[in-house]
Amino acid sequence: MSYPYQIKSLEQYHQVYRESIENPEAFWTTIAEHFRWKQNPERTLQWNFKDPEVKWFEGGTLNITENCLDRWAETQPHTAALIWESNDPEEHHRILSYKELLFKVNQFSNVLKNNGAKKGDRICIYMPMVPELAIAVLACARIGAIHSVVFGGFSAQSIADRINDAQCNIVITADGGYRGNKEIPLKNVIDDALVQCPSVQRVIVLTRTRIPVSMIKGRDTWWEDEIRKVETSGNPFVQAEEMKAEDPLFILYTSGSTGKPKGVVHSCAGYMIYTNYTFVNVFQYQPGELHFCTADIGWITGHSYILYGPLSAGATSLMFEGIPTWPDAGRFWDIVDKFKVNILYTAPTAIRSLMVFGTELIDRHDLSSLKVLGSVGEPINEEAWHWFDQHIGKGRCPIVDTWWQTETGGIMISNLAGITPQKPAHATYPLPGVQPILVDEQGNKIPGGDASALVLPSETISGNLCIQFPWPSIIRTTYGDHERCRTTYFSTYDHLYFTGDGCLRDAEGNYRITGRVDDVLNVSGHRIGTAEVENAINMHTGVVESAIVGYPHDIKGQGIYAYVIFNGHIPDKNLVAQDIHQTVSRIIGAIAKPDKIQFVSALPKTRSGKIMRRILRKIAEGDVDNLGDISTLFDPAVVEEIKMNRL
């Protein structure tokens, strides 16, 4: 097996990139020919960024699971598709070959159909990181149902919001899950959520932790019982549903600058082709290698680079149920050594959290199998980059610093491992077919910021990062609210997709992401809307008003700093802060808990009532001497009080 579209040299990268921007339709048409179609596309691309409307490979029909499973079950049936490592290092790992994974996906496809699922239905999946999660996702895709995976750390309210937005009729969950030394009561959380979700008719429950759960007659059923029904009915094979190229494949919710989560919709064909192309090229994957992406499938990284990207390339993908610091901080290195991992793709937050434990646990393990390292989720700082390079890669493994988003579907800017130059803390070059551009606040193009112009800047420049031409896995809409998609991504600057990120570009053409410029924080690689956290804090009975900003955090990259106005006297600030943490955890999930809560008597506002988050951000960062002009505030004295009591 080989990948004819895999770039093999720097010279070839420049040639292919030039071809991809001079004639993008011809470029992607050629790539698309390497996949299994039921009906070939009649048209490659139709688009405008005003409405917005983007359609790739119209007229074509396919099923993504035939490209991820069937074709490999035919040509390499005994190749490992998924390797699963348990949270508990003493529990036996599981290996599913392509033949076995296809069989199990067919089994569960029948389970879904037996429980009333059909093409176009939305199915919520809230499960631990076990093979059945991957099986459930692929089974949805096989029958044409739209999966909506929710990370196992979200609260009942957050799940209810997502289920109601998508009007899901089936939920797939487990009795519980393991995360380090914690047991997560997933079914109990689902039961709390479903009190307010009338659209849900069936709940399918996998046995994982064996904690007691409530099973509601007529609604809830055990995964294992449903599988037994299929086993007694004979051949479980399910003909893969014929899907139009632009049919939705999945919805994945992401925080936005308003309190309501956005349901990002990705389509079947474009998403498949782009995740495959980027996986093969960024990681320079070779048949037989083992790819270990440490993300959870509840996030886009898990969708694209645990499941769809690797499996569509016939690769072997490792999924891990646990956390990097349990039972000790050598768990990742245990896994690399145990399975002889070749590619390790993880988050800067994980790297920084492991740096503090020194190198003793690393030195106990053989990491010589590693060939490529990768960073994802947020910009990686130089200290973490060099530590990763020196202690994990031993100075011989290229590090791919990948920039992309839930909305982009796949990697957009990154060096190609060992092919294009790497530069610490820089995402470097755009992938073929990606046309990034830097603009100022007014949307004017900054000279030297346009990669497609093939002209380098004379010195490092900075601006807001936009993309000026569609790529196959671009967001199609926000579920049920296309206007929100337009206003969020396409209305800030005419005819451009606005990423929400600031960016630098140096004289060699390398792009460096500097972080969010909108009201969204990037905490441990997870995007969290400031408004969503503020709304949750404001639900606390004693809170009058709050404001959230990000500040530099040694481990998470960005921490959450909350300024809170409380009603009346606060007898015990620590106790009230704990209550607020509990409120946020209940409404959103523990990932959104503020790292610091400063109680204030008022917030700095303009005379029109707008909170000046710029000032609050500077104070949180400790840059209290560069607040700029505060004379236009309604009450400038508030700033001095906040500065004096800064945490």
CATH number at residue 570: 3.30.300.30
Residue 561 — very low, low, confident or very high, per pLDDT cuts 50/70/90? very high
Q: How confident is the model at residue 256 (pLDDT cuts 50, 70, 90)?
A: low
Q: Model confidence at 259, in pLDDT bands (50, 70, 90)? A: low
Higher pLDDT, 441 or 89: 89
pLDDT band of 318, cuts 50, 70, 90: very high
- Per the listing, tokens 């530069």 go with 423
Backbone phi and psi for residue 198, each to the nearest 5 degrees, phi listed first: -70, -15
Cα dist from 136 to 43, 147, 409, whole Å: 32, 9, 20
Whether this model's pTM surpasses 0.85: yes
DSSP code string of 342-391: SEEEE-HHHHHHHHTT-SHHHHTS--TT--EEEE-SSPPPHHHHHHIIII
pLDDT at residue 606 greater than cutoff 70: no
Distances (CA, A) of 582 to 536, 564, 578, 586, 594: 10, 15, 6, 6, 11
Compute the average pLDDT of residues 95-106: 98
Average pLDDT, stretch 120-130?
98
The reply to whether 161 and 112 lie within a common domain is yes
Say yes or no: 259 and 408 in one domain.
yes
- Domain stop point among 226, 241, 256: 241
| pLDDT over 60 (residue 608) | no
> Do 206 and 264 fall into the same domain?
no
35 located within any domain? yes
What size, in residues, is the chain? 647
With a pLDDT cut of 70, the percent of the chain lying above it is 98
Q: What is the DSSP string of 479-516?
A: TT-HHHHIIIIISSSTT-EEEEEEEEE-TT--EEEEEE
* Residue 298 and residue 152 in contact, taking contact as beta carbons nearer than 8 Å: yes
CA 449 to each of CA 23, 429, 455, 503, 627: distance values in angstroms, whole numbers, following the listed order: 21, 12, 8, 10, 29
> Domain with 356 in it: what CATH number?
3.40.50.12780
Mean pLDDT lowest among 8-17, 227-236, 366-375, 428-437: 227-236
pLDDT at 629 over 70: no
202-225: average pLDDT: 97
Residue 21: partners with Cβ closer than 8 Å, 6 or more residues away:
433, 435, 452, 469
Same-domain check for residues 289 and 218? no
Question: According to the 3-state scheme, what is the secondary structure of 511-528?
Answer: EEEEEECCCEEEECCEEE
Same domain assignment for residues 151 and 292: no
Q: Residue 164 pLDDT more than 70?
A: yes
Q: What is the predicted pLDDT for the residue at 524?
A: 82
Type of residue at 242: E
What is the layout of strands, in order, in the sheet containing 372-375? Answer: 94-97, 80-85, 316-320, 290-293, 343-346, 372-375, 399-401
Residues 181 and 220 in one domain: yes
- Predicted confidence at residue 339, as pLDDT, reads 98
Residue bearing the bigger pLDDT, 632 or 454: 454
Q: What's the rounded Cα separation, in Å, for the pair 215 and 238?
A: 28
User: Over 80: is that where the pLDDT of 515 sits?
Assistant: no
Residue 477 has pLDDT above 90, yes or no: yes
* CB neighbourhood size of 479 (10 A): 23
Instruction: Select from 370, 388, 393 the least CA-distant residue to 291.
Output: 370
Average pLDDT, the chain: 94
Q: Provide the domain count of the chain.
A: 3
Quick check: is 3 in a domain? no
Spatial separation of the C-alpha atoms in residues 36 and 14, rounded to whole Å? 28
Q: CA 139 to CA 104: how far, in whole Å?
A: 9
Residue 59 lies in a domain: yes
Domain membership of residue 171 as a residue range? 64-241
- pLDDT at position 610 is 65
Do residues 470 and 499 share a domain? yes
Higher pLDDT: 533 or 88? It is 88
Residues 203 and 290 in one domain: no
